[in-house]
């Protein structure tokens, strides 16, 4: 399957998962409270949340396959585009009110992704040495966990930033190993780091979704992941740009990050709609 098709499937799956997980996480938090792995453990028994998680897992799997040949700045931009799709899904399924300014940002987001797609050049990533890779990718996550725990429960913003950093590690490490045979992955320590980072990101995301605005949480997370992975991909992993189109990548990244943040932090009136949909889903 071509990488571009894998990327399109990934984006749709991610968007569906975001909407479904938001409904389930808010319902679980409203009923019993809790945070972190405790909340995630309860959600693991919730069929609605598992459906959303299946969407996230499908999105991750197809994004992983796409990273074998596509640069991180394009893959992560398309993943960020899931925020726009989630906004559209939320408007249709949860009664979110989408204003003219938000529709404009969806156009901006799409324009940024088109620019990145036109400027991207497929290439196999440079391999990351295991030792330095574990140190440079794993240690920052441990520091982030320590910082969040030092603040006790952690604010939705700090949890979203940590989730973004964790998913950046997932993207960077998986970009390096995506072209390897699947049978060799269980023996690769970077594959296990990818799984641990994904679990950490999922736990932080679930708690942040339950405590704060769904769209602003995902926007913050995606913006962090987008910036970190794009810089690392171009500087260290050998992500290529079509000669003469570097400006398109710079402009495209700016449009995607701006679109995601504006969509995420724009005032909306979805809380009542989300609560109502959660009761109906229950």
Question: Residue 183 contacts by C-beta under 8 Å, 6 or more apart in sequence?
Answer: none
pLDDT exceeds cutoff 70 at 282: no
Residue ranges making up the domain that contains 190: 3-281
Q: How confident is the model at residue 31 (pLDDT cuts 50, 70, 90)?
A: low
Neighbours of 258 (CB within 10 A): 15
- Reported as a single tens digit per residue, the pLDDT across 102-147 is 778 888 888 998 899 888 888 887 888 888 888 888 887 887 777 7
The chain-wide mean pLDDT, for the chain, equals 79
pLDDT exceeds cutoff 70 at 234: yes
Q: What is the C-alpha to C-alpha distance for residues 20 and 151, in angstroms, rounded to an integer?
A: 29
- Reported as a single tens digit per residue, the pLDDT across 148-166 is 766 555 677 888 888 888 9
Output the pTM of the full model: 0.74
**What mean pLDDT is predicted for residues 250-263?**
86
**Which pLDDT score, from 0 to 100, does residue 58 have?**
92
CB 204 within 8 A of CB 160: yes
pLDDT exceeds cutoff 60 at 167: yes
- Reported as a single tens digit per residue, the pLDDT across 36-73 is 556 667 777 778 888 888 888 898 889 888 888 889 99
Total tally of structural domains belonging to the chain? 1
pLDDT exceeds cutoff 90 at 18: no
CB 203 within 8 A of CB 36: yes
């Amino acid at each position: 399957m071509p990488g571009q098709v894998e990327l399109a499937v990934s984006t749709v799956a991610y968007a569906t998962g975001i909407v479904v997980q938001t409904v389930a996480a808010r319902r679980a938090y409203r009923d019993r409270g809790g945070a972190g792995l405790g909340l995630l453990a309860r959600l693991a028994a919730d069929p609605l949340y598992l459906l959303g998680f299946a969407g996230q897992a499908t999105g991750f799997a197809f994004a992983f396959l796409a990273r074998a040949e596509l640069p991180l700045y394009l893959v992560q931009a398309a993943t960020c585009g899931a925020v726009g799709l989630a906004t559209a899904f939320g408007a249709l399924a949860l009664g979110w009110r989408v204003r003219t300014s938000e529709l404009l940002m969806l156009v901006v987001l799409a324009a940024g992704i088109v620019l990145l797609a036109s400027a991207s050049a497929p290439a196999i990533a440079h391999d990351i040495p295991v030792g330095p890779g574990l140190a440079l990718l794993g240690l920052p996550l441990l520091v982030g966990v320590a910082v969040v725990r030092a603040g006790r429960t952690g604010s939705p913003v700090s949890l979203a930033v940590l989730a973004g950093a964790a998913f950046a590690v997932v993207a960077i490490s998986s970009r390096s190993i995506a072209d390897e045979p699947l049978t060799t992955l269980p023996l690769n320590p970077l594959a296990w780091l990818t799984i641990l980072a994904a679990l950490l990101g999922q736990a932080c995301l679930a708690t942040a979704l339950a405590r704060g605005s769904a769209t602003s949480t995902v926007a913050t997370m995606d913006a962090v992941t987008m910036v970190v992975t794009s810089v690392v991909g171009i500087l260290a992993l050998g992500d290529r740009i079509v000669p003469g189109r570097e400006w398109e990548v710079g402009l495209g990244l700016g449009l995607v990050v701006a679109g995601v943040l504006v969509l995420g932090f724009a005032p909306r009136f979805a809380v009542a709609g989300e609560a109502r949909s959660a009761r109906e889903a229950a």
